[in-house]
């Protein structure tokens, strides 16, 4: 018979505000747990060699490549001269295509001004501007 172990607890996630990326996470389980069958009815815990079975609750850690876009960004996260990647917004505003460019200014502490290869300058929402590594 297949039974389900339900462990109460919480998740702790560390976030770096400078890079806009999560660093790691962990699940902190409590001793508060219950077992249930496939119908959701409570059952007694199974026993293996006289003990309740235990499985380590390690969570998969984020990798830098798994988070290509910053989760939080503001215009002051960028510096003039910095090379960046600009991705289009879902609302149809310019730029229409992804491009790489150079930060040439910050407008009203709200927009990142980026110059593309054709010398066009776009006022970009910081969420569409990404640091090139």
109 shares a domain with 81: yes
Average pLDDT value for residue range 78-107: 82
Distance CA 130, CA 73 (A): 9
Residue 69 lies in a domain: no
Q: Which of 62, 94, 109 is the last residue of a domain?
A: 62
- Residues 6 or more apart whose CB falls under 8 angstroms from that of 113 comprise 103, 104, 105, 106, 107, 121, 122, 123, 124
7 shares a domain with 58: yes
pTM attached to this predicted model = 0.44
At 18 the pLDDT is 78
User: pLDDT tier at 56 (50, 70, 90 boundaries)?
Assistant: confident
* Number of domain units in the chain: 2
97 shares a domain with 57: no
What is the extent of the structural domain holding 117?
Answer: 75-131
Residue 47 lies in a domain: yes
């Amino acid at each position: 018979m297949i039974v389900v172990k339900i462990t109460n607890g919480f998740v702790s996630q560390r976030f770096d505000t400078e890079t806009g990326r999560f660093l790691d996470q962990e699940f902190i389980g409590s001793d508060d747990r219950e077992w249930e069958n496939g119908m959701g009815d409570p059952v007694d815990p199974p026993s293996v060699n006289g003990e309740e079975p235990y499985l380590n609750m390690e969570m998969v850690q984020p990798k830098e490549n798994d988070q290509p876009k910053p989760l939080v960004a503001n215009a002051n996260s960028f510096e003039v001269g910095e090379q960046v990647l600009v991705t289009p917004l879902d609302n149809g505003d310019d730029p229409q295509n992804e491009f790489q460019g150079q930060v040439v200014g910050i407008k009203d502490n709200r927009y990142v001004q980026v110059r593309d290869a054709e010398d066009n300058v776009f006022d970009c929402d910081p969420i569409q501007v990404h640091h090139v590594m």
